Structure 1
Amino acid sequence: MFSAVMPPRQVKIGDAAAFAGTTPRAIRHYHEIGLLPEPERGVDGRRRYGYDDMIRLLWIRKMADAGISLDDMRAAFDGTRDIDDVLARLERTLAEQEAGIARRRAAVRRLRAVGSPLGLLSEAVTGRLDHLPPGALRPDDVDALLVTERIFGSLGAAIQASVFIVLATDPGLRAEQDRLDAAEAALDDGVRPDDPRVEELAVRRCAQLMALDRAAVKAGLHVAEEKLLETVDDTEPADTRMSAGAAVTKMPYDWSPARTRCAERAGQLFAEAISASERYRDGQATSADAP
């Protein structure tokens, strides 16, 4: 003869957790934060959960699966916040997360297509380098572009790319660059900042910078730079770049005072040389326009 087994009117926390698809620890947490009222306890002192408790647990589980926070659930259950408002805010959050995922997927696709670490640079930079043969850029070149992009943004790094394009395509200038790098590194070996070699190297470095600039102009790279200034939107999120002043205090370096002085002096000489050449060109234009 058929005998129906009646379900219990109340269950223990383990059975309640198993039915709702959660854990006893999670249920205890719901009690602690006021999301789930404390149930009655049996004669053994243990919690007993009834039908209404199970319904609340199922609601909590379903809402958690939808991404609703525990605080929002509690506010909705208490009637202090409209569930439609909660869902509207959740939808905005999910839209932002979807946009973030789309950006990350695009970054992964770029890394696969362009290659790592070059693919870590922005499209404005890699777009200027895509015509170079594989291996033309050295790892140190890419590292320098990463640092420049962090300080000056994608536009600054895209303009600096001209230097590395020239170095990758002019063996003579690359060889002189290597000689200068080695000579400047030797300044770290106990050379004083007022040593005559510091000034000599600064003059040579300035000459190298001028040669790189002339080579870039001859190759028409300055035209690409001018187009970048017109077309690239360099308004990037604040967390992708920082000011040069902040970078000085946060970017570590191991240059000696002599090497630092050499770099500063080379920069001074280069700025003076550029200014003089611009005055010369302006003078030529004035003379040509004179009656």
Structure 2
Amino acid sequence: MRIGDLARIVGTSTRAVRHYHRIGLLPEPARESNGYRTYTLDDVVLLLRVRRLVALGMSLDEIGDVLDEDERGRDLDEVLAELDADLARQAEEIEERRRQLAELRRADPGRPLTERVGAIADRIADAYAGHSSAARMELAVMEVLTSVVPGAVETYEAAIDDPALVALSGDIAADFEALADAEPDDPRIAALVDRIVAASDRIHLAVPEEAGPARIAVEDVTAWFDAADWMSEAQRRCVLLMVQRLAEGRSA
């Protein structure tokens, strides 16, 4: 049996068979006097086992180990158990992604938010009613933070359940809106920043211990609004000072 016959029976390519030979996964078969490889039923069985393990997600190095005569029994069971556990984790992740997808399919097509984040957005919009610039900024920042910062969803939920903080946010939004016609050196900017920083002391972000390094830097947040033509220069300066002050407070 030639290499083309072997590949056809197993359902792979001659190129793959030759690669398995090169890496030592399949032993070189006997050759005829003309130099052609001659394969036997044992080669078919071995290649079928390789293909079956590849389909299960095992790497070629792992397959080489488990098919080695000296290590086959113990290592195969160990590797397959690890593979089964990995597949179980993937199944859980897929199920969670399907749950989130179902939420997004039920959401407003123009605002694909999960149910929890959508509820936060609705309540922020209510608190900032009549203050379009502040609402637009807050809603955009909230959507980003709840997507990439661990614990942000819970922090926002706790904040909007605090009536005093919601009322204070509405007052701050009104003051921010009033900066639409202000000059960049208007003293109201510094005063508003002071109020925002003071209000932030009421908010505590509970970051999980397993969370990795922060994905958002101060420069990221300020850059978001550098070219925001729907904000005045005074409002952009307010955002810049606010972010800088909050960052200094977090690092102190």
CA distance in 2, matches of 1:236, 1:126: 26
User: 1:201 aligned to 164, 186, 189, which one?
Assistant: 189
Contact kept in structure 1, 2:120 and 2:156, CA below 8 Å: no
Compared with structure 1, are the counterparts of its residues 268 and 99 closer, same or farther at alpha carbon in structure 2 (3 Å cutoff)? Answer: closer
Compared with structure 1, are the counterparts of its residues 204 and 94 closer, same or farther at alpha carbon in structure 2 (3 Å cutoff)? Answer: closer
Work out whether 1:109 is the aligned partner of 2:102. Answer: yes
* Unaligned 5+ runs, structure 2: 228-232, 247-252
1:248 maps to amino acid: V
User: 1:235 aligned to 200, 205, 208, which one?
Assistant: 208
Compared with structure 1, are the counterparts of its residues 261 and 44 closer, same or farther at alpha carbon in structure 2 (3 Å cutoff)? Answer: same
Compared with structure 1, are the counterparts of its residues 93 and 265 closer, same or farther at alpha carbon in structure 2 (3 Å cutoff)? Answer: closer
* 1:70 corresponding residue in structure 2: 60
Bigger relative CO (Cα 8 Å, ≥ 6 apart): 1
CA distance in 2, matches of 1:258, 1:45: 82
Contact kept in structure 2, 1:20 and 1:58, CA below 8 Å: yes
- Percentage of identical aligned residues: 30
**In structure 1, the residue corresponding to 2:106 is in which secondary structure?**
helix
Compared with structure 1, are the counterparts of its residues 268 and 113 closer, same or farther at alpha carbon in structure 2 (3 Å cutoff)? Answer: same
CA distance in 1, matches of 2:139, 2:3: 58
2:71 maps to amino acid: T
Contact kept in structure 1, 2:2 and 2:36, CA below 8 Å: yes
**In structure 2, the residue corresponding to 1:242 is in which secondary structure?**
coil
* Unaligned 5+ runs, structure 1: 1-10, 188-196, 214-221, 271-291
User: 1:90 aligned to 83, 86, 107, which one?
Assistant: 83
User: 2:71 aligned to 80, 83, 87, which one?
Assistant: 80
Compared with structure 1, are the counterparts of its residues 16 and 265 closer, same or farther at alpha carbon in structure 2 (3 Å cutoff)? Answer: closer
**TM-fit CA distance, 1:66:** 2.7
**TM-fit CA distance, 1:19:** 0.4
**In structure 2, the residue corresponding to 1:108 is in which secondary structure?**
helix
* 1:143 corresponding residue in structure 2: 140
2:214 maps to amino acid: M
Compared with structure 1, are the counterparts of its residues 265 and 68 closer, same or farther at alpha carbon in structure 2 (3 Å cutoff)? Answer: closer
* 1:156 corresponding residue in structure 2: 155
Correspondences of 1:1-291 after superposition (within 5 Å): 11-78=1-68, 79-80=70-71, 82-115=75-108, 118-120=111-113, 123=116, 125-129=117-121, 140-149=137-146, 150-151=148-149, 153-159=152-158, 177-180=176-179, 182-183=180-181, 187=184, 197-203=185-191, 235=208, 238=211, 242=214, 247-248=217-218, 251=221, 253=223, 255=226, 262-263=238-239
| TM-score normalised per structure 1 | 0.58
| TM-score normalised per structure 2 | 0.65
**RMSD value, Cα:** 4.5
